[in-house]
């Protein structure tokens, strides 16, 4: 499978990794849209939120739970924004599910986009 984020999670393509465990991999977005811009991905290849099944509940929960610690550890202790783009309508570009984690330290732009 020719998926860039699968290759990043396996270390086959370099990335600025900040966290890894059995299920998740976290790295800096190559084109940051905020002072802090991380991507949190499941190691399992899931195309998008539109492909989620009940067995993905735990890994999705773990992604959400990790956000606070990542933000705090990387200079955004007073809040952050999470975004998951899904499909054509959501303007998803990379079809391996990922959560954008955007942070300050200063408040982000008012728009819900980034
Ligand atoms: P999305 O539009 O939600 O699919 O976002 C894809 C994100 O992946 C964009 O913010 C890109 O800057 C980021 N991206 C693409 N290729 C890489 C890469 N090799 N390393 C890190 N981030 C990447
Ligand atoms: Zn993948």
CB of 48 closer than 8 Å to CB of 64: no
Q: What is the pLDDT of residue 81?
A: 97
CB atoms within 5 A of ion ligand 2 belong to: 3, 5-6, 45, 96
Q: Would you say the CB of residue 5 lies under 6 angstroms from ligand 1?
A: no
Per the CB < 8 A criterion, the answer to whether 45 and 96 are in contact is yes
Q: Which ligand is nearest to the CA of 9?
A: 2
Q: Which residues are catalytic?
A: 98
Distance (Å, rounded) from C-alpha 38 to C-alpha 83?
11
pTM attached to this predicted model: 0.97
- Listed as ranges, residues in the chain with pLDDT below 70 are none
The pLDDT of residue 1: 80
Please give the DSSP secondary-structure letter assigned to residue 59: H
Smallest CA-to-CA distance from 86 within 45, 33, 30, 46 is with 46
Q: Which pair of tokens denotes residue 33?
A: 């849209």
Tell me the pLDDT tens digit for each residue of 22-42.
999 999 999 999 999 999 999
pLDDT at 64: 97
pLDDT score of 111:
79
Q: What is the pLDDT of residue 98?
A: 98
Q: What is the pLDDT of residue 113?
A: 73
CA 6 to ligand 2 centroid distance, Å: 4
- Looking at residue 110, what is its pLDDT? 87
User: What is the CA(5)–ligand 1 centre distance, in A?
Assistant: 9
């Amino acid at each position: 499978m020719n998926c860039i984020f699968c290759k990043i999670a396996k270390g086959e393509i370099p990335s600025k990794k900040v966290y890894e465990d059995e299920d998740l991999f976290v790295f800096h977005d190559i084109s940051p849209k905020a002072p802090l811009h991380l991507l949190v991905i499941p190691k399992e290849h899931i195309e998008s939120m539109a492909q989620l099944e009940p067995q993905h509940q735990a890994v999705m929960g773990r992604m959400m739970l990790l956000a606070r610690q990542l933000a705090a550890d990387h200079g955004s202790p007073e809040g952050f924004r999470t975004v998951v783009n899904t499909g054509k309508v959501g303007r998803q570009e990379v079809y391996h599910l990922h959560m954008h984690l955007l942070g300050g330290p200063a408040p982000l732009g008012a728009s819900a986009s980034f």
